[in-house]
Structures are given as structure tokens and as C-alpha cells.
Amino acid sequence: MARAGKKILNDPRKVVHEMLEGLVLANDGKITKLSHHDAIVRSDLPQSKVAILIGGGSGHEPLFHGFVGRNMGDGAACGGVFAAPSPDTIYEAGKAVHRGRGILFLYGNYAGDAMNFDMGAELLNEDGIEVRTVRVSDDVAAAPPERMHDRRGIAGDLLLIKIAGGAASELDTLEDVERVVKKANAQTRSMGVAVAAGSIPETGKLTFELAEDEIEIGMGAHGEAGISRQKLTSADDITDQMLGRILPDLPFASGDEVALLINNLGSTTMMEMLIVNRRVRQILDERGIKVYRTDVGTWVTTQEMAGLSITLMKLDSELKYYLDLPAESLGYSRT
């Protein structure tokens, strides 16, 4: 396995712990870190609020730790790089965010995360705390539509966390918040393309092998197999192939309104993402699909992996409302 390039680190075994210490300082008192656990919680959580606990493996910054804040996640349980948080960390984070109306767990659909968050939920249930779970499953490359429950979560995490945070700030019951977030998940589709591998800080190795002249369409955030490995082609051709999978999957149809997200997987430039955005809009315009809002940026990454993902969420008036509420976090803010 080839080795990655240079990184600015102290001890590679302590990257998550030191990263969270820096995150707390960067939030100027708005975020606190739990003692003895890699988990963070908002400092200003009001009482009698449905709590949103997000989390998963680190190394995909700013997901998840960077999405804790007003109208976003209330806390994040963080695992090692590309590893699920422990049940104990999830349990302690859950106790810290709970404000009397239950907790919604929201995280990407990966086996390790599912197992450990379920164990954390059982521990919280034993304390009399109700927990509901939504696993983000937006990656159309991971499984056919009839097996959406097997799909992994990628950049759709951002839109779902934004909607969950908004819904939890206004709705009184855990059941109502769960309903909104489940609907958002059901109406979100994504696909990524990898141009070059990221790296694993602790080992210095690349996350997967990809020839200099190759790309993989549909590759997962950790190097999971996509739908085609091929020679590098034009931005328009790549976009056509990705939307050719995303659009029929829901399906998206003429008259629909969507939220559009173009996400940098780590080291792709804004120039490249905007060129892809240009082609996405051409295709959606041709099909009569209206873009209600667009986000282009860096939110769900795999260290310095090169590539991008495209996400579409089909909107209704309720999803628009919660998506539009102001949000404030280190990784994503919108007024």
C-alpha cells in the first residue's frame, strides 16, 4: 500500500483527542468536551428539548463534531479515525444531551456505528431515557432502491442534521422529530466520485489504491466499492453519469423542488465543484426540476481524498421550513 503525503500532527494515536480539544477552544465556550470520552455537547442546551445526538468515525471533518451547534446537533459521539464511537462514549454523550424529552440518534448507516449506537441506546433505555434512531442512507451506489436500508450514509448527513436540528428546536415530541427526519432521509439521494485516495493518519497509508489515470464513480467514503472504475473523463461526463443514477432512483420528476449539495470529499477545488454544479443545473433545468437552494463546500470528507459528491433532497413545505432555519456551528452556518 502506498504511503500518503505529509501531515501536521503530534502523536498520530491522539489525533481525535487533540482535535476535539482544539474544537472546544475554537467555539469560544459554546461547546464542552466530556471528561474521559471523545464526545462534545452544546453548552447552552435548553431544558425540555428533544435532543439530537450525532456521531460516528472521525476523519470526515467537519462531520460530525463540526456540526454541533444551534439548530444542528446537540452533541456528537466521536470514534477514532474511520472507527465507530464506543457504546460507553455514546451512552455518556446521550446522558449529557438529554433534557427530558428523549434523544434522536442520527448517524451514517455503517455496521459498526449501528451496533454501538444500538448498545448505547440500550444503556440509556435502562436509565429510563427514550431513544429513537435514524440512520442516514443516501448513497445510491451502495445498494438498489429496494434495499435502501442497506445503503451507507454520505454527504446527505449534512442536510439531515440541519433538518433534525431545526425540527428539534420547535417540535415538542421525539416522535414528531423522528417523523420529519425519517421523511428527509427517504427523500435524499447522493453519489460520490473518487479521483485519488485519502489517508489514515495513524498509519500514514492511503485508504485505497487508484491508478493515476483512473476514477471510481460511486466509491464510498472509506474506499467501499462503487459502480464503475474507469479512465478519467470530463466533468460533464462524470456529472452525467452520477445524475443518471441519482435522478431515477427516487425518482425526481418535473415540478419537483430540491436542495442541491455539492460536497468536496477532501482535496478537490472549488473550481472543480462549481464546474460540476454548472452541469447539474443544466440537467435539472432540462428536466423541469427546480433548485430551491444550493450548498457548495466541504462538509463530509475522507482526509485529503480527491473527489466530490452530489446530493439531491426532494423538498416539501415542511422540509423547506426546517432547512431554512438559521444554523450555527463551526462546520456549517447559515443565516
Catalytic residues: 60, 222
Question: From CA 55, how far away is CA 263, in angstroms rounded?
Answer: 19
Can you give the three-state secondary structure of the chain, one letter per residue? CCECCCCCCCCHHHHHHHHHHHHHHHCCCCEEECCCCCEEEECCCCCCCCEEEEEEEECCCCCCHHHECECCECEEEEEEECCCCCHHHHHHHHHHHCCCCCEEEEEECCHHHHHHHHHHHHHHHHCCCCEEEEEECCECCCCCHHHHHHCCCCCHHHHHHHHHHHHHHHCCCHHHHHHHHHHHHHCEEEEEEEEECCEECCCCEECCCCCCCEEEECCCCCCCCCCEEEECCCHHHHHHHHHHHHCCCCCCCCCCEEEEEEEECCCCCHHHHHHHHHHHHHHHHHCCCEEEEEEEECCCCECECEEEEEEEEECCHHHHHHHHCCEECCCCCEC
User: How many CB atoms lie under 10 A from the CB of residue 150?
Assistant: 11
Q: Name residue, grid cell 480527491.
A: 306
CB of 15 closer than 8 Å to CB of 202: yes
Q: How far is CA 57 from CA 76, 77, 237, 294, in A?
A: 10, 9, 32, 27
